[in-house]
Amino acid sequence: MSAYTVSCENNILKVGNTGDFSVFRTFDCGQCFRFEPVPNSSYKCEFSGVAAGRKVSFAQNEPGEIFIITDKKADAADFGLWARYLSLDTDYDLINDAILENIPRGADREITKKAIDASRGIRILRQDRWEALCSFIVSQNNNIPRIKKIISSLCEKYGEDIGGAYDFPSAESLFAAGEDAIFSLRTGFRAKYIYDAARAVSGDSDFLEKVARCENYADAERILTSVKGVGPKVAACTLLFGFSRLDAFPVDVWIKRVMEKRYSPNFDFRFFGKNAGVAQQYLFYFERYLGGGQAE
């Protein structure tokens, strides 16, 4: 992984030497719910939203460089924050090689390689832990437009105004609001689960840190699933996108489909190794958005 080049102009950080990093694929693969494509952008691709308590856009014209447009004058010192959020500090070429390493040669390895090649440029965002937990509770039995609408309502009602946008509401604010108020935002059956998650996190300042400190995946999953409504899939999404546990492998209908349709019956996702979660994102994108390679 080569060193990045960083330059600042007004409120824009220009980052060069970013390899195959893709703004479009990273923000269009269903892993976060607070970013939207910018219509009529001056860039070929731009997604705008809120992260780390800041309004921010990530844009791209050509492979190899990205533009980070923030809500204040750009400072090269900010690069560390956004590099971590975008996983620019991680060598995905090494990860891609490691994913293939333990898969026996044959059709299973070939379909994995095809998914990697078709999805290159996706990075696992390092999202806020509480936001990830709450967001993926909202995602249960839901579609992406409705998930985004619910999260937007929660932010507008209970998040901090950061100047034309709203930060994600704290666990304390949602717990104080109460289950009925959360339900009134059309969260449905998820209201009681959001409320219980807010109770757990606001009532124990060390709750999320306990999860982060777990070396064993099963221990981290056990803590998260102590929250009402959090099962293995929501826990896996939370661990992958909120705790950077790349060994987490969320299984939804798309992953079930690709595993049943394209892999041999005896294939185990554990062949993907410690980067199974990255492989999961490639397979999800490959199957859902590219039709398993049938269309680009």
Q: Catalytic positions, please?
A: 233
**Residue 3: which residues within 8 A CB-CB, separation 6 or more?**
17
Query: How far apart are alpha carbons 27 and 35 in whole angstroms?
Result: 7
DSSP designation for 269: G
Paired residues of 35 in beta bridges: 49
What's the token pair of residue 88?
């620019």
Q: What strand order describes the sheet that includes 35-37?
A: 5-9, 12-16, 65-70, 54-60, 45-51, 35-37
- The Cα–Cα gap between 213 and 220 comes to 8
Question: CB–CB of 107/259 below 8 Å?
Answer: no
The span from the CA of 192 to the CA of 174, in Å, is 11
- List all residues 6 or more positions away from 216 whose beta carbon is below 8 Å from its beta carbon: none
Q: Which residues contact 225 (CB under 8 A, 6 or more apart)?
A: 231, 232, 235
